[in-house]
Chain A
Amino acid sequence: MVTGSRIISFSVNSRHCSLPVTSREMLLDVLRNRLELTGAKRGCSSGSCGACTIVVNGSAVRSCRYPAFKADGCEIITVEGLAEIDTLHPLQAAFLSSGAVQCGYCTPGMLMSAYALLLRNARPDRTDVRRALKGNLCRCTGYLPIENAVLAAAESLRNQTAPRDTGWGVGQSPWRIDGIEKVTGRALFSADYNFPDMVHAAPVWTPVPSGRIVNIEPNDALAIPGVIRVLTWKDIPGLNAVGRWKADRPVLAEHAIRFWGDCVALVIAQSPETARAAAGKVIVKTVPVPGIYSMEDALEPGASPIWETGNTASAMVVKKEGKPDAENQTAIVEDRFETGFIEHALLETEAAVAHIDSDGVLTVIGPSQNVFFDRLELMRILGIPPRQSHRIRVIQAHTGGAFGKREDMIAQPLAALACWITRRPAKVVLNREESFRSTTKRHPVRIIHRSAVDSTGRVRSLEIDLKADTGAYASWAPNILRKSLVHSTGPYDIPSVRLAGQSVYTNSAFSGAMRGFGATQSLLAAEYHMNHIAGMLKMDPLEFRIKNALVNHSQTATGQELTGTDALPPVLHAAARRFRWPGPARGRQVKGNISIGYGIAGAFYGIGYGNGIPDKGQAEIRIDPDGNAHLATGAVDYGQGSSTVLLQIALETLGTPRSSAYLETGDTKRTPDSGSTVASRQTFVTGNAVLKACTRLKQILLPVAADLLKADPQTIEIHSGKWKSRGHGEISWNDLISEAFRRNLNLVQKARYFNPTEPLDPSTGQGDVYRTYAFAAACSEVSVNLKNGKIRVIRMTCAHDSGRIIHPELAKSQVTGGAVMAAGLVLSEEYRVKEGIPQTLDFNTYQLMRFGDVPDIDVVFVETPDPLGPMGAKGLGEPATLAAAPAILNAVTDAAGIQFNRIPVTPEILLSKLPAR
């Protein structure tokens, strides 16, 4: 027995356990590490996220802060204990029916908090639910689907019923395909994997935000029993760099330290505790180099260069000359808008495991947005030459959110190195502070607008100067800058534009992809500016927007003519109607200290990579002899729901019953490359590939069905798992497939869908840069407390034209999640960095919207089928935040009566700007 430990006994999910624990061990450690119950998740270890919630003697507790010895004699229920064998608890079923599960990382904690609530209150109302779940964070759903699920579960418990799964047709909302695993705690996220004889690695971080490494002294660490090795850059067999566009970020820093998130060494040990303790004993000697912590300083003439190429990562222009309009009197309106670093705050911190499988293949399991990119980079790091990709396999684990952050790997290279060098399975799990300090952020931007407006309220020309802070490394700097600039006019038809963008290196942090890929900031700034103009003209913001809106056949800033879409007006009108937009008659309403304001905004978003970048989706469908349809695609789903949507498209096309279909994704060995799950592209691009493969298979099956039905193939329709022809009856999937096998038909089909676009002209920035655009509009009502500065979003309407909606509940959950993320962006979130040192490294200082902060959100889909989309669908993931953010900001402006040209608008900032009353 370990010294200082004592034996405790308790029951977990009705099983008796008795084991020695130390006084320092927390219940979460015991459950996850010793009892292998990995359903309860770790999101922070500080009691502030709720992912680790379990029920002890009927009460919800945060197991990360609950000393294990206190559980002596207790009865514990974890998420694994909710379902009875295969019958889900009504809460679990309701979560699946209500779209309350996306990435699923918060789900176990949410379920257990809700379970404890229902134990003591069979008739909770919304307020009860919000109060009980306020300690549980969710980054994906925007909480409302969860609230609905808990209320629905309470009702079904009272009526002794349970929510049931629906049909799988397009337009229905079946339970997501990974749903049962996620609500039962069986879904394995990266940190949940364990292998025999596994080693654990912990990073050693730089002690300064900018400097040079003089010496790394590992001896004190190596002296600790259980420490196996301390790796530095010298141990990296291949290229010491991560980065798809530019391999510039060292896995382990060599000489230069460029920001606070640089990792300088990796300690490998027998246990995670030893690895961490030893990491603290590695002495890193550095000489400080003065850092550059603002874009202004970086661009000063004579500023010391962070990279040999200078401090500009990327620059571009977009120029479109419209007809000059001399007759009309014009007013000039200028604005300047700024944002700070924003953290994705994925509930799952970065983690990965690597092992060498029984065929000698290095297998890396981690979160991912593209397993093929990850494989390429890992090969480079390990020195595996090109054309030997079979030696490494990357598998996406269930991924606790992504929103762009998973495009830049961090844990995977470390785990892969540790495994490659020790030849033992290896695991790396970053803690919350490490996640904050080392991973990408949303680019801070500074945008200057200058518009010329004519007397009718049309914006005739717009000049924009946009600067984005990419931090120490490039990540996708030029691509993000492009998306930012292409969307920076907002969804408006402006005859003349001159847009200039520049992405700048600093030592403050490290910026990369985040939901909206730069367009979030530029659209927010554009709508701030448009609101300003409407206000100056004393026009209703809605009317002003309609007047300038992109419509069918208008030209975007890059000169691309829109076709086959009604573009912005339908979503603006839909949002305004459902919201009951107060119109020109509205005015700021102040009652006591409370002022109410309204905001409206629109957005557009190019779907797919764009700019001529090869944008391909691939899918493979195979019918097994027992009739099982096996669909495979490399497209990863990290919660947003692409897997479910892709399977729906396949089932709808082939009429295969759900019980006979299976989808495999995100595995370099078993699935075809389908590009990254980014740019809101998977439904559109891979959806088209799935549709194509399934349609080919259908063509093979049609003659068989026609023979069996004795009907003309033209007359055959597929409907809920049956192939039928009017007057000729129907046949089942089983009979159809049996006959097809009897005829020895080829029932394996692969398809590739290519989404062609044009690269922008480098000197003018003109071209058909995206194939299709999604449109969004939002209205919001906020209240501002003029005395204490508190801002509350009361209600919102979000209208989206993302083409046909395949899965309404998941789509709604995307939109509410996006709107709540937008509210955080505008009102509370900022990753503050002072002279290179981050000030917000936990969920107490980095404030996310919580359950209680959430407004009512009304979601409207304007389903204009897209002629190019699979079954008319486009993309939704990113558009969900784009219009919501400016709608909230404009409402705050309206309520406060002053403009805020920097986000977030926190209560302190609001108060400091309010005129003294």
Chain B
Amino acid sequence: MKSVRFRVNGHPVTVDVPPAMSLQTVLRDVLNLTGTKDGCRGGECGACTVLVDGEPVNSCLIPVCQIQDREVITIEAFERPGEPHPLIRAFAEQNAVQCGFCTPGMILSAAGLLAENPRPDRETIRTVLAGNICRCTGYENIFRATDIRY
């Protein structure tokens, strides 16, 4: 067991867990933040994407001990009362969501990209989102949603 301290969506947390436990498991099973999805646990689908210090990562691949003192952002941070977050609004308006299982990961990947490069071209969007699999939408609407800048 190891005590790991970090911040999730702005709140400080401390968890006592085996050091090799993945960030994904800590988020979902220890902190009950189930917005982050579990699609493969092998870094292949991107459903578990979160931001660590602003950087999109597959949380299933990161042992939580590497998160010590770092800042994690999950899909839950996008929820707010009143006006929806622009990315959420774009995803909704562009019909970028069908079953919704890939959506949290997509939004986090897109958010990571837009934070770095507020005006990415289509090609960049494609490349950056290549690690996120979607089985429903055929991607086009997702790219369009990411392209919209409110």
Contacts and interface: CB of A to CB of B under 8 A. Distances in A.
A878 to B, nearest CB: 43
B81 interface: yes
B65 to A, nearest CB: 22
Interface string B30-68: 011100000000000000000000000000000000000
A86 interface: no
Interface string A417-431: 000100100000000
A196 interface: yes
A546 B80 CA distance: 69
A604 to B, nearest CB: 53
Dominant SS among interface residues on chain B: loop
Contacts of A420: 81
B79 interface: yes
- The size bracket of the interface on A is under 10
B81 A423 contact: yes
Contact of A423 (B31, B32, B33, B79): B79
B32 A197 contact: yes
A278 B67 CA distance: 33
Nearest to B32: A196
Contacts of B79: 423
A420 B32 CA distance: 19
Nearest to A356: B79
Contacts of B31: 197
Contacts of A197: 31-33
Interface residues of B, number: 6
Dominant SS among interface residues on chain A: loop
Contacts of A196: 32
Contacts of B81: 420, 423
B101 to A, nearest CB: 13
A196 B31 CA distance: 8
B44 to A, nearest CB: 26
Interface in B16-39: 31-33
Interface in A190-245: 196-197
Interface in A402-441: 420, 423
Nearest to B80: A423
Contacts of B33: 197
Nearest to B34: A196
A196 B76 CA distance: 13
B86 to A, nearest CB: 18
A195 to B, nearest CB: 9
B91 to A, nearest CB: 15
A145 B66 CA distance: 62
Contacts of B80: 423
A197 B80 CA distance: 16
Nearest to B81: A423
Nearest to A358: B34
A423 B79 CA distance: 9
A52 B80 CA distance: 40
A900 to B, nearest CB: 58
A197 B32 CA distance: 7
A227 to B, nearest CB: 14
Contacts of A423: 79-81
A420 B80 CA distance: 11
A423 B81 CA distance: 8
A196 B81 CA distance: 19
Nearest to A421: B81
Interface string B102-138: 0000000000000000000000000000000000000
B99 to A, nearest CB: 13
A420 B31 CA distance: 21
A738 to B, nearest CB: 34
A130 to B, nearest CB: 47
B30 to A, nearest CB: 10
A423 B32 CA distance: 15
Nearest to A198: B32
Interface string B67-88: 0000000000001110000000
B106 to A, nearest CB: 18
Nearest to A196: B32
Interface string A247-270: 000000000000000000000000
B22 to A, nearest CB: 19
A502 B81 CA distance: 46
Nearest to B35: A358
A420 B79 CA distance: 13
A356 to B, nearest CB: 9
A196 B32 CA distance: 6
Contacts of B32: 196-197
A535 B115 CA distance: 91
A197 B79 CA distance: 15
B25 to A, nearest CB: 15
A420 B33 CA distance: 18
Nearest to A195: B32
Nearest to B33: A197
Nearest to A422: B81
Nearest to A237: B81
Interface string A684-695: 000000000000
A196 B30 CA distance: 10
A669 to B, nearest CB: 20
A197 B74 CA distance: 15
B72 to A, nearest CB: 15
A197 B34 CA distance: 11
A671 B45 CA distance: 40
Nearest to B79: A423
Nearest to A360: B79
B60 to A, nearest CB: 20
A859 to B, nearest CB: 50
A18 to B, nearest CB: 16
A176 B33 CA distance: 39
A7 to B, nearest CB: 16
A196 B27 CA distance: 12
B62 to A, nearest CB: 22
Nearest to A197: B32
Given A196-B32, A197-B31, 6 more contacts: A197-B32, A197-B33, A420-B81, A423-B79, A423-B80, A423-B81
Interface of A: 196-197, 420, 423
8 contacts: A196-B32, A197-B31, A197-B32, A197-B33, A420-B81, A423-B79, A423-B80, A423-B81
What 7 A-B pairs have minimum CB-CB distances, sorted nearest first? A196-B32, A197-B32, A423-B81, A423-B79, A423-B80, A420-B81, A197-B31
